[in-house]
Structures are given as C-alpha cells and as structure tokens.
Amino acid sequence: MPELPEVETIKNDLRPMVEGRRFTGVTFFWPRMVLQPSAEELCRQLPAKRIDEIARRGKHLIFRLKGGESLVLHMRMTGSLLLRDRNAASPETDRYATAIFELDNGTELVFSDRRKLGTASLVKDECELECKLGPEPLDPRFTSEVFKERLSRRKAPIKAALCEQKLIAGIGNMYADEALFAAGIHPLRPANSLTLAEIKKLHEAMRKVLVQAIGNAGATFSDYRRPGGEEGSQQDAFSVAHRGGQACKVCSAPIERIPVRNRGTYFCPRCQNSATCS
C-alpha cells in the first residue's frame, strides 16, 4: 500500500512536470472510483482546469487547481499514478488502468490500480479532507508531547493506533512495523501504556524511518511504482516489514508475523520483548 513516503515520492516526481499544466480530458474505466461529484460530472468539470500545485496530505495526493478546487487521489492498496506520453500506451499499465487524465502538453496520468480500490474526488474545500486526518508525523508541530497526548486516550494496540489516520496521517502497516522495531516496542502494547521515554523514542524512530524511506523513493513489493515506472528501494533497508521467518538483522531471531486488528504485523520477538504487553 502506498503510504506517506510513496505518496511523497509521487508528489515530488510529478511537481516539476505537471504543475502549471491544464487537464484536457479524463476517462474513467472504473467510474465507481469517483466519490464526488460523480464520474460523469468530473469528466465535465475537470477539462481546462490548471494545476497550480501538487501536494500531499497523509496518503492522499492533492492537485490544487486554479479557482480553489482540488482533485484528491487516494491510491489505497494497489494504486500507482504513472506519467507517460499520450502515444506511449503500455499493455501492462492499461490492463489495470481505472482512469486516465490527459494534460495539455501531450502527456497523461494513468491511474493503475489492480484491485480497483483507489478513489478520486473533486472538492471545493480541503477541509473536507482535513477533518478526517490527524497531524503529519514530519510536521515540526507534531512534537513528542503532542504524540503523548494523542496516545493517552488510546487503549488499542500501539500498532493499530499508529495506523489510525485520525491519530496520525500517512503511516500504514510497513512504516508502523519499522518504527516500532526501531523503538524496541512490541506491536501489541496498549498505546496508553507507553512511558514518556518510550513515546519519545517511538516519535524519533517514526521520523527517521519516514525520512529514510522518502530518500529511497518508497518501498516496492508488488504494485507501487514511481510516475516514471521506477521502483522504490526502501524495501531493501527494512528490518522487519515483510521479512517474516527471516533472521533479525540485530539479534538473528526469526522475524514473526501476527495479526493486529486484522493487519499483518511483523516484529522481532527478542528485540521487541512482549513481557510488557497486556
């Protein structure tokens, strides 16, 4: 699933090539991906609108348009946004295309989504998105004190809490697992049981993991690709995520995989001792 580092990479790759361009057309092969207004209405409204800025909020990619509206894309499980010349069709890309956005310079953005879970919305006010999301983990205003306050009311396992977008925006399975490993915290620990020292350690680990992943253009395990089709490389640096059964890079114990609130979760049973779980 594209998480914060993957969507940040997509944003960074697209900005110099797409900002200032205008949409000239859009085709939806999976109209149900449009949450608002409707696929038919979005096809009518989007052409001729200028892209003033591309931004990210949590796992959402935002095209801020001249006039104040925003096109919000959510990749969800298997989505990728690929930029190509309009005449350079790719059978593999088109096989999973749910939408194609045409631009005024002869290029197009292909929303490729094997599981058809990604969404598109045209909103008049980004507050519609803001009210659903917590703070950005890399925002300087998101301090360890703010983190502590937000965890204090959560009895859920810390792994589940980190993936809750209303608590913190942008973190999902992979980077929650990596941050918890780096902080030495078991994923089943109740979120409100963490000490201040543990919270500070997790806060720092979370930031380091995300910054490193952005530097490595995200992680590719199956579907995620950068707009040019390249893969990310963060998966090569993972300590526990998607490494079930392999030796821990620190202590050599086998990495375990357990479900936490229906999410596959990877951890080291030795480095992340379970003695304090309840």
Residues assigned a catalytic role: 2-3, 59, 263
Burial of 259 from C-beta contacts in 10 A (0-12 / 13-18 / 19+): exposed
Tokens of 90: 């790719």
Q: Is 179 exposed, middle or buried (CB count within 10 Å of its CB: 0-12, 13-18, 19+)?
A: buried
- C-alpha closest to that of 134 among 174, 173, 161: 161
Residue 217's identity, in one-letter code, is A
- The partner residues of 12 in beta bridges, in order of sequence, read none
State whether the Cα torsion 26-5-143-203 is positive or negative. Answer: positive
Q: Are 36 and 125 in contact (CB under 8 A)?
A: no
128 Cβ partners below 8 Å, 6+ apart?
Answer: none
